[in-house]
Structure 1
Amino acid sequence: MSLDFTEQLASELNLEIGQVKRTIDLLEDGNTIPFIARYRKEVTGKLDEVQLRELKDRFEYLKELEDRKETVINAIAEQDKLTTELEDKIEQATKLQEVEDLYRPYKQKRRTRANKAKKKGLKPVAEFLLNQEQNIDSLQEFAQKFLNPEEEIETVEDVLAGARDIIAAKVAHDPQSRKLARKITFRDGKLVTKAKVEESTDYDVYYDYQSSIDKVKPHQTLAINRGEAEDVLQVKVKTKDGKIISRLENRFIAAEFKFTKQIKKAIQDGYDRLLFPAIEREVRSKLTEEAEEHAIDVFAENLNNLLLQSPLPDKKVVAIDPGFRTGCKVAAIDQVGDVLDTTVIYPHNSQEGWKTAKEELEQLIGEYNINIACIGNGTACRETEKLLAELISEVEQKLEYVIVDEAGASIYSASAVAREEFPDLDVAMRGAVSIGRRLQDPLAELVKIEPEHLGIGMYQHDISSSDLNEALETVVESVVNYVGVDLNTASKSLLEHVAGLSSSVAQKIVDYRSENGKFKDRQEVKDVYGVGPKTFTQAAGFLRIRDGLNLLDKTPIHPESYDLAKKLLNKIGHDINSLQSDDEMMDLKKQLKSLDIKKLAQNLEAGYPTLKDIKDALLKPGRDPREDLPKPIFRDDILEMDDLEPGQIVYGTVKNVVDFGAFVDIGVKEDGLVHISELSEEYVKDPLDFVAIGDIIKVKILEIDKQRKRIALSKDF
């Protein structure tokens, strides 16, 4: 790695040079970010995943910048136009945009007006005007020397027009011209939109809209882009043209030159025809890029919170995928998500069907001793909810229910993953199973579905799919490795997100497990074809075995640190068997809490961060970090819109967070909106600073619009 890169990265990110170098070495050696963040803290100086990704992204940008500089310098040199001054400017550029601006005048362009004029021999006229030579008294006489009917240059005006085309291109492609036009436009320009249709649409608010460029909000940019794409809106950038042209004239014209009129006309043309359209594209591109980055960040944060929703372990569930004509698909699933029984009920077709449906549900629930039901929130959800509420009031057995967001369930049901998991179930019944599993373990089930289908983003279908997928894959990878996966129950879809495991290796692990039974310890993973020493090192700490031969296998302690963990236990009179005895665990926890880890790290010649992580893992062996998060709200009755009134206080679950607020499920069919202005008594810049998907919050009903089916809420402070 270039020493200059190291110093630059250290300076930009406020890190030590050695810290940067060691971290880049780890990354270039093929180590994954989750592994580095969790198990190489001594090497990186405890950089977290966010810092590591920032360092990696910036390093890759600098490499791309250096590569582009080399390409541009070589391309200009091949034209014999590279000067020492130009090469120095390119070498000193710190942004790709600066390099492209410097290269623009030397790019091989197609049949432009300026190129045509040059081919016709009019370059000397343009140079005379640009150089503003004083040795010619008559421009007309000078121009006549370049008349050439064979090249369609028949008049003096033809000569001057061609010269102006060359000057216009020179002005438009000049790096300083672009820099000043860009600066003024971004600082003083406005984005203006007008309606192209007369009828009302979703874009009414933009029918006569304008905003300073730096004040346009990301969600507005994406809405405007969509309205333009649908041919509803006309979008323009307006800027201080006169100010820019005046500055360009000052740059290219000397006050005493006789023929400034020709240069001014060329500058005006170059600005109108070439420079401003390019800057306008830059403005739109930058606004879109920033809006997409923001939308991706919001989506990623929402996805992170969705995947980290609290699981419901060791509970049997009856799951219902509701429907009218085709009936409600019902699946009873056991504690680990295996299907116990399935049926289809038809409660919404007749009174007799309603009665029969209740009887079938009661029998299913009683047979498998189930206390929890869940209903997908799709078509016929609230009608099916009434059925369950009525059943609960009639049976002695304790039964509660929860509504589960089924976004993406239909995508999963028809997928190859679902067909492989449930080859004997039809598509609709797979959806019911998925709904139940989402309640039991949201992470394990939701990783099977492409994130853009989970209903938690905003304008995600308008965003570059490659950028979105890359960002969301990062989130999934981070969450999966933060939580860890059970090696003996994890699906291929979950395993392939573990650090170091490819999709093919994940499948081989599943195949090995089905052929040889449960894994007994982490070391056995090495027997799987494709799991070499490096793969094992990257993945092992994130794989858990609950009831294996080695009790440390249920912790996030990496196998490379098992000896250190045993030394720590021995220092306080324990061994790993203490992890399975309740009485010994109580004593172990007491001693661990009082342990001076810094002092012990010195005695054991171990890294303090690693030893501290071992201590934390031993305090809560086998603990799922999601356990501390809010549990779903279970109900045994039903709320209707008619049950609500302004001023009423209720609890709800945050379902989605967007730029303008948060949507909250309060138990009725329609989610309510807590507008950004109602999230806190403080000023709220970003709703995600105050709420997250899965949060259980107390809200006050502000307004109920039954006709438009909208509920306005305020977070109860």
Structure 2
Amino acid sequence: MQKIIRQIATEIRVHEHQIKTAVELLDGGATVPFIARYRKEATGGLDDIQLRELEQRLSYLRELESRRETVLNSIDEQGKLTPELRAAIEFAATKQDLEDLYLPYKPKRRTKGQIARESGIEPLANRLFADPSLVPVDEAAAYVKAEKNESGDDFTTVQAVLDGVRDILSERWAEDAPLVQSLRQWLWSEGLLSSKLVSGKDENNADIAKFRDYFDYDEPIGRVPSHRALAVFRGRGLEILDAKLVLPEPPEAGKPSIAEGKIALHLGWSHKARPADDLIRKCVAWTWRVKLSLSLERDLFTRLREDAEKVAIKVFADNLRDLLLAAPAGPRVVMGLDPGIRTGVKVAVVDTTGKLVETATVFPHEPRKDWDGSLHTLARLCEKHGVNLIAIGNGTASRETDKLAADLIKIMAKSAVAHAGQAQAAIEKVVVSEAGASVYSASEFASQEMPDVDVSLRGAASIARRLQDPLAELVKIDPKSIGVGQYQHDVNQSDLARSLSAVVEDCVNSVGVDLNTASVPLLARVSGLSQTVAKSVVRWRDANGAFGSRADLLKVTGLGAKTFEQSAGFLRLRGGTNPLDMTGVHPETYAVVEKIMAHTGRPVAELMGRAEMLKTLKPELFANEKFGVITVKDILAELEKPARDPRPDFKVARFNDGVEDIRHLKEGMLLEGTVSNVAAFGAFIDIGVHQDGLVHVSQLSNKFVTDAREVVKTGDIVKVRVTEVDVARKRIALTMKLDAAPARRDAPRDNRFESARPGAQNRGGARQGAPQPASTAMESAFSKLAGLKK
């Protein structure tokens, strides 16, 4: 264990005692949010990012140590564990390195090389390789058998014996760990990922055409970005693409390849026209072509996929974090509109607490076209409930429904002037993602929350609540259904689920949860609370009324002292008996606050929010052996801004009047929009025309950008300029480099949307993400959108 602690400390660049303490806390059942927030003293201030990395590496290294022990025992039982081999195994840093060393000793099916060794041919193989001046045919004659053995193995001819030599040597070399590792590293640096359209496939087929960029593609495998790797693997899985690992320079006919040359160099052999040299050259070629080329391709494809999946999962997790921590509209009356054509637009109004107060269905679109009747119904609901915000789902008929909302706002504005004699605050409208709303609507929790409401109307209520508090509403939905992932169905699902779960947990606990209003799904994400305990909390609340203090939690069945310790600090309680219960101050440190109260002579209610006074206090005066200066500083910061919400203020993008359709866009237009999604190759922006535009990574900033999230995140409101519009294919290219000169309108346009071979952008060591012409960038990036939206 000390070895693991030392390694993680080196990787994270902290002291070993910090890692040791954190591991002990994690093993003791503490959660990452709890340790990061309330055990800074013990861990030396490790934050949640460091702790998540520690948690992941701890799991990997423990698995590695367990496997290392298994390998050592297995080789030892075979009587082949030498001191040198033991040392090599002990120092193996990765699972791959460990398996390379274990390969020659790993129990396997009877191979041709084993058969040849069992037949006594190994001494011949050793002699011919050690002394190539020997004549193979003459030497092999002594090893020819008179007849087949009992197993049917046939070494009755000289050629069969020499084939046995080939099998023995090639098998031995293919299991030479240093050789395999050097070839693997060389191929990762120099090898090419190549893909072609499978013979006989119709490239004009719509499903096949999505992979057009990969019909004739190659790129250095070590520099293939995540989205392209996953696109190739998806096309391969669908049997549309034939993907291979190819050498940087194909061998000339009849000549050895570079790979074969590297094997010979490692072995210290070269062809000098000696009698056995031709045989050894064939053995080297056999080692590469039969033994190593396919296995190394498999290894490197696995590595490429794993690396690509890590990036894709990180993109998903980052976007999910941004979405969950998006600005909440707060306690406003919201009307949710779930657009539909034939089935109508579902309407749900929720009050300032998120309670569903009324529903309706209107039919403004085909086939009824009851536009005026729909406006009348919606206006009545707005007046009756005081609606001041409209949330519109971005699904089918969203554009048409957005226009309906715009007309409604105009009607309500005129009505307000007519009745009050002056203009009042206008109702605002926001188009929101409805991804996952249908999943929530049909869930067991939705049926418990809204038992008498039709499934189709529940989605409208969810859309409305997403504006009030995105975090509280989206935790009710499986994160994989929220729709901010890149190739999410192509990645390891357990790794994805684990990563997304950690993001949700971190977001919920960073914001805090109202103990007296939170739903079961939200409570279940609080540090230390399981689904079962969360249900018990809600049952207790329903039976006994609102919690009066955090201490009342200990009255809940199944919620003991350990769970209370882990969860209490993240649960907020407004209007309780102790004002500290609404803050992030943990109950275990209330005694520290009492010392502060005694020192200042003020009750806690008069301390909270008094930043000018609190800043004059010296933390050292209130620290003790259990809670040191770091903890006291956190307490004082919390008292300065009690129950502060880390999320930004709610804003609505102001779309340009008269720009409601892609056909209204003109090159050079300056627009405001909301970032709807961020991918490795750029950001998608909702500019109010019901077709997201793309800001390619090269157009995000005047400086070089490798990751789009360095500049923007989901939910940001940004200013953009239109650079290109393709109405037929519904593609919009945007730039955030507003000070750059617009593209010349008289520039040649014949090939502006011609697809670029992805490999061409990266061959020869070109920087990934280097600036590209807008048309090339947009075409290449949009070609990946199919995978992004899957």
TM-score when scaled to structure 2? 0.86
Give the counterpart letter for 1:469 in structure 2. Answer: A
Question: Is 1:631 aligned with 2:631?
Answer: no
Deviates more, 1:387-396 or 1:427-436: 387-396
Question: Is 1:60 aligned with 2:80?
Answer: no
How much has 1:672 moved relative to structure 2?
Answer: 1.1
Change (3 A) 1:103 1:603: closer
Deviates more, 1:188-197 or 1:570-579: 570-579
Q: Is the 8 A contact 1:401 1:636 kept in 2?
A: no
How much has 1:635 moved relative to structure 2?
Answer: 7.1
Question: Is 1:502 aligned with 2:530?
Answer: yes
Residue in 2 that maps onto 1:684: 705
Residue in 1 that maps onto 2:470: 442
Partner secondary structure for residue 663 of structure 1: strand
Give the counterpart letter for 1:160 in structure 2. Answer: L
Q: Is the 8 A contact 2:121 2:143 kept in 1?
A: no
How much has 1:23 moved relative to structure 2?
Answer: 1.9
Instruction: Summarize deviations over 1:265-289 as a string: whole Å, max 9, x none.
Output: 1221121111111111111111111
Question: Is 1:667 aligned with 2:688?
Answer: yes
Q: Is the 8 A contact 2:339 2:401 kept in 1?
A: yes
Instruction: Summarize deviations over 1:297-330 as a string: whole Å, max 9, x none.
Output: 1111110000001112211111111111111111
CA–CA distance in structure 2, aligned partners of residues 54 and 351 of structure 1:
56
Residue in 2 that maps onto 1:70: 69
Question: Is 1:146 aligned with 2:120?
Answer: no
How much has 1:643 moved relative to structure 2?
Answer: 3.5
Matches within 5 A, 1:131-170: 131-132=130-131, 139-150=137-148, 151-170=153-172
Q: Is the 8 A contact 1:168 1:266 kept in 2?
A: yes
Question: Is 1:297 aligned with 2:314?
Answer: yes
Residue in 2 that maps onto 1:272: 289
How much has 1:632 moved relative to structure 2?
Answer: 3.3
Residue in 2 that maps onto 1:600: 621
Partner secondary structure for residue 155 of structure 2: coil
Residue in 1 that maps onto 2:353: 336
1:548 to 548, 572, 576: 576
CA–CA distance in structure 1, aligned partners of residues 269 and 330 of structure 2:
80
Question: Is 1:516 aligned with 2:544?
Answer: yes
CA–CA distance in structure 1, aligned partners of residues 80 and 735 of structure 2:
65
2:402 to 385, 391, 394: 385
How much has 1:161 moved relative to structure 2?
Answer: 0.6
Matches within 5 A, 1:574-653: 574-578=602-606, 588-593=610-615, 595-601=616-622, 606-626=627-647, 628-633=648-653, 639-641=659-661, 642-653=663-674
CA–CA distance in structure 1, aligned partners of residues 136 and 689 of structure 2:
84
Question: Is 1:694 aligned with 2:711?
Answer: no
Give the counterpart letter for 1:96 in structure 2. Answer: K
Q: Is the 8 A contact 1:173 1:275 kept in 2?
A: no
Give the counterpart letter for 1:31 in structure 2. Answer: A
Partner secondary structure for residue 549 of structure 1: coil
Deviates more, 1:562-571 or 1:467-476: 562-571
Q: Is the 8 A contact 1:319 1:375 kept in 2?
A: yes
CA–CA distance in structure 1, aligned partners of residues 400 and 482 of structure 2:
23
CA–CA distance in structure 2, aligned partners of residues 605 and 378 of structure 1:
54
Residue in 2 that maps onto 1:106: 105
Residue in 1 that maps onto 2:557: 529
Matches within 5 A, 1:467-478: 467-478=495-506
Change (3 A) 1:273 1:319: same
Partner secondary structure for residue 625 of structure 1: coil
Give the counterpart letter for 1:369 in structure 2. Answer: G
Instruction: Summarize deviations over 1:238-291 as a string: whole Å, max 9, x none.
Output: 226733322322443656875233222122112111111111111111111111
How much has 1:91 moved relative to structure 2?
Answer: 1.4
Residue in 1 that maps onto 2:221: 213
Instruction: Summarize deviations over 1:195-242 as a string: whole Å, max 9, x none.
Output: 223524111111111111222111110111111112221111122673
Q: Is the 8 A contact 1:6 1:21 kept in 2?
A: yes
Residue in 1 that maps onto 2:196: 194
Give the counterpart letter for 1:129 in structure 2. Answer: L
Q: Is the 8 A contact 2:136 2:162 kept in 1?
A: no
1:252 to 267, 285, 288: 267
How much has 1:603 moved relative to structure 2?
Answer: 8.6
Q: Is the 8 A contact 1:402 1:635 kept in 2?
A: no
Deviates more, 1:414-423 or 1:33-42: 414-423
Change (3 A) 1:640 1:251: closer
Instruction: Summarize deviations over 1:501-527 as a string: whole Å, max 9, x none.
Output: 111111111111111111111111111
How much has 1:350 moved relative to structure 2?
Answer: 6.3
How much has 1:571 moved relative to structure 2?
Answer: 2.4
Instruction: Summarize deviations over 1:416-455 as a string: whole Å, max 9, x none.
Output: 2212211211110110110011111100111111122212
CA–CA distance in structure 2, aligned partners of residues 320 and 425 of structure 1:
15
Residue in 2 that maps onto 1:582: none
CA–CA distance in structure 2, aligned partners of residues 560 and 289 of structure 1:
43
CA–CA distance in structure 2, aligned partners of residues 250 and 524 of structure 1:
74
Give the counterpart letter for 1:83 in structure 2. Answer: T
Q: Is the 8 A contact 1:190 1:212 kept in 2?
A: yes
TM-score when scaled to structure 1? 0.94
Instruction: Summarize deviations over 1:656-678 as a string: whole Å, max 9, x none.
Output: 00111111111111111111111
Residue in 2 that maps onto 1:364: 381
Aligned length: 707
Change (3 A) 1:461 1:141: closer
Partner secondary structure for residue 702 of structure 2: coil
How much has 1:179 moved relative to structure 2?
Answer: 1.7
How much has 1:400 moved relative to structure 2?
Answer: 2.2
Question: Is 1:15 aligned with 2:32?
Answer: no
CA–CA distance in structure 2, aligned partners of residues 388 and 602 of structure 1:
57
How much has 1:646 moved relative to structure 2?
Answer: 2.0
Instruction: Summarize deviations over 1:572-607 as a string: whole Å, max 9, x none.
Output: 33212326xxxxx66x232113x2434434599951
Give 5+ residue unaligned stretches, structure 2: 249-255, 417-425, 740-790
Partner secondary structure for residue 257 of structure 2: helix
Give 5+ residue unaligned stretches, structure 1: 580-584
Residue in 2 that maps onto 1:45: 44
CA–CA distance in structure 1, aligned partners of residues 193 and 14 of structure 2:
39
Change (3 A) 1:20 1:391: closer
2:436 to 408, 415, 419: 408
CA–CA distance in structure 2, aligned partners of residues 603 and 473 of structure 1:
36
Deviates more, 1:294-303 or 1:210-219: 210-219
Give the counterpart letter for 1:103 in structure 2. Answer: Y
CA–CA distance in structure 2, aligned partners of residues 325 and 614 of structure 1:
56
Residue in 1 that maps onto 2:325: 308
Change (3 A) 1:83 1:146: farther
CA–CA distance in structure 2, aligned partners of residues 212 and 636 of structure 1:
44
Q: Is the 8 A contact 2:676 2:685 kept in 1?
A: yes
Q: Is the 8 A contact 2:342 2:367 kept in 1?
A: no
Q: Is the 8 A contact 1:654 1:665 kept in 2?
A: yes
Give the counterpart letter for 2:462 in structure 1. Answer: S
Change (3 A) 1:140 1:662: same
Q: Is the 8 A contact 2:655 2:671 kept in 1?
A: no
CA–CA distance in structure 2, aligned partners of residues 366 and 138 of structure 1:
99
Residue in 2 that maps onto 1:263: 280
Question: Is 1:488 aligned with 2:516?
Answer: yes
How much has 1:51 moved relative to structure 2?
Answer: 0.9
Deviates more, 1:62-71 or 1:672-681: 62-71
Q: Is the 8 A contact 1:597 1:611 kept in 2?
A: no
Q: Is the 8 A contact 1:657 1:663 kept in 2?
A: yes
Q: Is the 8 A contact 1:648 1:701 kept in 2?
A: yes
Residue in 1 that maps onto 2:175: 173
Instruction: Summarize deviations over 1:109-128 as a string: whole Å, max 9, x none.
Output: 11432233334443343343
Tell me the C-alpha RMSD between the 2 structures: 2.2
